[in-house]
Amino acid sequence: MNQKADKKIRADLERLREWAGEKIGAGNEPPWAWYQYMKLRETIDAILGGMGVVSTTASSPQSEQPQDSGLRLAVCNDPQEIARRRQRGTPVRLPT
């Protein structure tokens, strides 16, 4: 999305958050509706917070560099990291 659309969405969300706050503050809503307005406000806060993080991350110089998402092979030559094989003749204990 472009910045103009982001600003419009942010403004709409903030207006909707204010509306929900007014409904909560009026005290005329039944308990189930009050709870839904509170959830709406919390959700809008989370979305607005996420929008701030995304716009900050998108403008950082690191985001312009391509990310290498391919798999890499790694070799471990440390003998302590190599699994030891069971010696022949060693009995295997089975659960009873």
Q: Is residue 73 part of a domain?
A: no
32: burial class by Cβ within 10 Å (0-12, 13-18, 19+)? exposed
Give the mean pLDDT of the chain. 77
SS3 string of the chain? CCHHHHHHHHHHHHHHHHHHHHHHHHCCCCHHHHHHHHHHHHHHHHHHHHHHHHHHHHCCHHHHCCCCCCCCCCCCCCHHHCCCCCCCCCCCCCCC
Total tally of structural domains belonging to the chain: 1
Does the pLDDT of residue 76 top 90, yes or no? no
Q: Is residue 41 part of a domain?
A: yes
The whole domain housing 25 covers 3-57
Q: Is residue 93 part of a domain?
A: no
14-63 residue pLDDT tens: 999 999 999 999 988 888 899 999 999 999 999 999 887 765 555 555 55
Strand boundaries in 16-57, DSSP class E: none
Q: Is residue 75 part of a domain?
A: no
CB-based contact 24:34 (threshold 8 Å): yes
Average pLDDT for residues 52-77, to the nearest whole number? 62
Average pLDDT for residues 64-91, to the nearest whole number? 60
Q: Is residue 30 part of a domain?
A: yes
Residue 78 or residue 3, greater confidence = 3
Q: Is residue 74 part of a domain?
A: no
Q: Is residue 92 part of a domain?
A: no
Q: Is residue 66 part of a domain?
A: no
